[in-house]
Amino acid sequence: MAVTINRGRALGLLDLTPMLDMVFNLLIFFMVVSQFANDERELKVLLPEGTAAMPLTAKPREIFINIDQAGAYSVRGRTLSLDELGDMLVRAGGDNPATQTVIIRADKRVAWDFVAAAMRMCNQAGIHDYSASLADEP
């Protein structure tokens, strides 16, 4: 027994009405949402001015700890003792708890204990984003 397929009837089974309904619903949705976004931007609000305020997205300054051949710590041109270095790192870590970075630069002739002490101070201050390198220049 041969099966016959009526091709005209098979094409008539495809109904596009639900798909067109969804397209129109999405079109209306995006038109309404874009209108609400414009309304919020056009509100007449007088904002205060801040001259000394920094934007919240500003990255904090990196702290460079330089260690010379004798094992002296210097930060921003000031020579600090190990306790003063720890206090300064605690203040910096408190101001920027998650984003403060420290770069430890040591003379290649310095004993590694001084670098390890600086790393320990960073850990005690809650600063975990630090790196250490040895400088080649005397």
Cα separation of the two ends of the chain = 99
Cβ proximity of 74 and 104 under 8 Å: no
Q: Which residues contact 14 (CB under 8 A, 6 or more apart)?
A: none
| pTM, rounded to two decimals | 0.55
Choose among 111, 115, 102: nearest CA to 73.
115
pLDDT surpassing 80 at residue 45: no
Q: What is the per-residue pLDDT for 138? A: 45
Average pLDDT (87-97) is 85
- For 95-136, the pLDDT digits (tens) are 877 788 898 988 888 888 998 999 999 888 888 888 887 765
Q: To 10 degrees, the CA torsion angle through 113, 116, 118, 120?
A: -130
Band the pLDDT of 57: cuts 50, 70, 90.
Answer: low
**What domains are there in the chain, each with its CATH number?**
63-135 (3.30.420.270)
Where in 6-135 does DSSP place strands (E)?
63-67, 73-75, 78-80, 101-107, 129-135
Find how far residue 16's CA is from the centre of its chain: 47
